[in-house]
């Protein structure tokens, strides 16, 4: 994707849903002020530090959110972070519905953003608990070759991970397993399970 096309798609994310436009714009300002670079990944504005996916912005039906990729490592002294799913091992997010809510938490968010950057600088990693399902060699190769796919896959709940692994592994031939994996890579990158609907 060309830089100008990417910038245009990022800008449209902030204009797309007028309901959350103001709180999302304030969150974006905090992230850019912290020196993070902005890219569009998984269809969402993603903020990188030294090339590492660090923070991502979300627009939901009932709220918008700032998501910390390694949020489980944050101290969260103000208790504003929640896991996106019951079994989420890495991501933690803070949800907002108004610009005033963002303004009220701005100082806390600045601290959390600085802490997330420090976590990347220190090279800290989430110790993911293995999912109880066979990992097909073909998919392991994809995860080894693509950090983006690996991060997106392990950001899914264990149940979603298990469903993918079972679906991939039940194919008897390597060619079929590879075809199944190829089909679902965009879905995994979009942060969705096999059965999730748009």
Q: Does residue 76 lie in a domain region?
A: yes
CATH number, residue 22? 3.90.1150
Tens of pLDDT, residues 116-164: 999 999 999 988 776 567 889 999 999 999 999 999 999 998 888 988 9
Q: Which residue has the tokens 């959390």?
A: 112
pTM for this predicted structure: 0.68
User: 126 CB contacts (<8 Å, ≥6 apart)?
Assistant: 70, 72, 73, 89, 90, 154
List the structure tokens of 156.
Answer: 């899914």
Whether 73 and 12 map to the same domain: the answer is yes
pLDDT in tens, 161-175: 988 998 898 888 999
Are residues 152 and 178 both part of a single domain? yes
**Domain assignment of residue 29, given as a range:** 3-121
**Could you give the CA distance from residue 17 to residue 14 in angstroms, rounded to a whole number?**
7
C-beta neighbour count of 45 within 10 angstroms: 23
Q: Do 15 and 83 belong together in one domain?
A: yes
Report the SS3 class of residue 98.
Answer: coil
Question: Looking at the domain assignment, is residue 129 inside a domain?
Answer: no
Q: How far apart are CA 164 and CA 41, in angstroms?
A: 21
Both 112 and 149 in one domain: the answer is no
Q: Is residue 196 part of a domain?
A: no
Q: Are residues 97 and 177 in the same domain?
A: no
The SS3 call for residue 20 is helix
Residues 6+ apart with CB under 8 A from 28: 14, 38, 45, 57
Give first-to-last CA distance, the chain, whole Å.
Answer: 23
pLDDT for 194 equals 84
Residues 41/56, Cβ–Cβ less than 8 Å? yes
In this structure, are 38 and 102 located in the same domain? yes
- Tens digit of pLDDT for each residue in 4-48? 777 778 888 888 556 799 999 999 999 999 999 999 988 899 999
Q: How many domains does one find in the chain?
A: 2
Query: How much is the mean pLDDT over the chain?
Result: 90
Domain limit, last residue, from 121, 149, 181: 121
164 domain-assigned? yes
Asked whether residue 132 is assigned to any structural domain, the reply reads no
- 71 with 157, same domain: the answer is no
Query: Which pLDDT value is given to residue 89?
Result: 83
47 plus 11 within the same structural domain = yes
Residues in the chain: 198
**Coil/strand/helix, residue 94:** strand
CA–CA dist 98, 71 (Å, integer): 22
105 and 141, same domain (yes or no): no
DSSP state of 124: -
8 Å CB contact between 55 and 116:
yes
């Amino acid at each position: 994707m060309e830089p100008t096309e990417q910038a245009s798609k990022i800008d449209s994310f902030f204009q797309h849903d007028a309901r959350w436009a103001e709180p999302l714009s304030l969150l974006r300002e905090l992230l850019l002020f912290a020196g993070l670079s902005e890219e569009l990944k998984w269809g969402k504005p993603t903020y990188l530090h030294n090339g590492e996916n660090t923070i991502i912005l979300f627009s939901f039906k009932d709220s918008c959110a700032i998501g910390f990729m390694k949020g489980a490592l944050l101290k969260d002294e103000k208790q504003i972070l929640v896991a996106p799913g019951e079994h989420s091992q890495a991501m933690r997010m803070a949800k907002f519905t108004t610009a005033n809510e963002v303004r009220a938490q701005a100082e806390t968010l600045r601290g959390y953003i600085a802490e997330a950057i420090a976590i990347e600088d220190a090279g800290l990693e989430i110790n993911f608990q293995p999912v109880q399902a066979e990992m097909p060699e073909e998919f392991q190769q994809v995860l080894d070759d693509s950090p983006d796919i690996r991060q997106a896959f392990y950001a899914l709940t264990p149940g979603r991970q298990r469903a993918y692994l079972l679906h991939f592994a039940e194919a008897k031939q390597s060619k079929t397993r590879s075809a199944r994996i190829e089909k679902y890579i965009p879905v995994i990158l979009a942060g969705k399970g096999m059965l999730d609907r748009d």
